[in-house]
Amino acid sequence: MSKQGSVWRAMVAVAWSFLGIRKSSEFQKDIDRITPLHVLGVGLVAALLFVIGLIVLVNLVVAK
C-alpha cells in the first residue's frame, strides 16, 4: 500500500492514543498510511496544547 499520510489522519490517531482506545483494524490502517514524522509533529503539538490548557485551567481555579 502507498504511504499517503495526511496530517488529519495523524491527528485522529494521536487523539485516540491520548485516550488509550483504538480498534486494531484502524491501528493497522494508520501504520500503513501515516509517517512517523506526522505522528511526531502532531504528538508534540497536542502535548504542548494539553500542557498549556492545564496551566490555563490551574490559573483560572487559583484566581477565584
Global pTM value:
0.72
Each residue of 7-49: pLDDT tens digit? 888 888 888 888 888 788 888 888 888 888 988 999 999 999 9
User: Is the distance from CB of 35 to CB of 5 less than 8 angstroms?
Assistant: yes
Of 2 and 49, the one with more pLDDT = 49
Q: Phi and psi for 8 in degrees, rounded to 5?
A: -60, -45
Please tell me the distance from the alpha carbon of residue 26 to that of residue 37, in angstroms, as a whole number. 19
pLDDT number for residue 1: 45
pLDDT number for residue 3: 54
